[in-house]
Amino acid sequence: MKKIFLLLTVIGLSLTSCSDDDVDRDTFSEVFEVDNVNFLQSGNFSVTVPLNPQIYASDVILVYRLAGANSQGNDIWEPIPTTYNLAEGQLNYFFDFSRNDVVVYLDSDFDPMLRQDFSLGQVLRIVIVPGYFSQSVDINNYDAVISALNTKQGGEVQIQKL
């Protein structure tokens, strides 16, 4: 009986043994950059970005907008949804997604073309992450998300231009 218990213990330990490799092989993400996004009246001030191939049902989409650069010249990525209270009125970016696409909207209580710095030539980053991952990191901080993904994946996340 002791030999059987010892054998089962050894087998159990070998099946659950850990390695020194801290890379999470189940966390795969993608980052897409979409340049020159124009929110136009003809498109109801929305932009659709197709996802090909489609994402898993458990994946989560995070969207960020390039808001400028800091004093060191580093890009500032703000999370969407976001709201601006401008002299002309309130302006909002928000989005929704399905397994097949991401739709980003620009909504305001004034004509968005009055503020072309918000409606034309925008740069967006779309980050696809597993659902459980989005609960373990500050998704409002683009740099924190990318840093955590780099750590989980054991290498630098590649940004694909669309």
pLDDT, one tens digit per residue, over 127-160 is 998 888 767 788 889 988 888 888 776 677 788 8
Beta-bridge mates of residue 50 = 101
Cβ neighbours for 40, distance < 8 A, ≥ 6 positions apart? 119
Phi-psi region of 47 (alpha: psi -120 to 50; beta: other; left: phi over 0): beta
**Whole-angstrom Cα distance, residue 86 to residue 116?**
13
Give the DSSP letter of residue 131.
T
Give the DSSP letter of residue 10.
H
Q: Of 156 and 61, which is predicted with more confidence?
A: 61
pLDDT at 162: 79
Label each residue of 54-81 as H, E or C: CCCCCEEEEEEEEEEECCCCCEEEEEEC
**Whole-angstrom Cα distance, residue 144 to residue 135?**
13
Is the pLDDT at 9 greater than 60? The verdict is: no
The predicted model gives 87-105 an average pLDDT of 97
Is the pLDDT at 3 greater than 60? The verdict is: no
pLDDT band at 7 (very low <50, low <70, confident <90, very high): very low
pLDDT at 98: 95
Mean pLDDT across the chain? 84
Q: Of 115 and 14, which is predicted with more confidence?
A: 115
pLDDT at 64: 97
Cβ neighbours for 79, distance < 8 A, ≥ 6 positions apart? 62, 63, 64, 139, 140, 141, 142
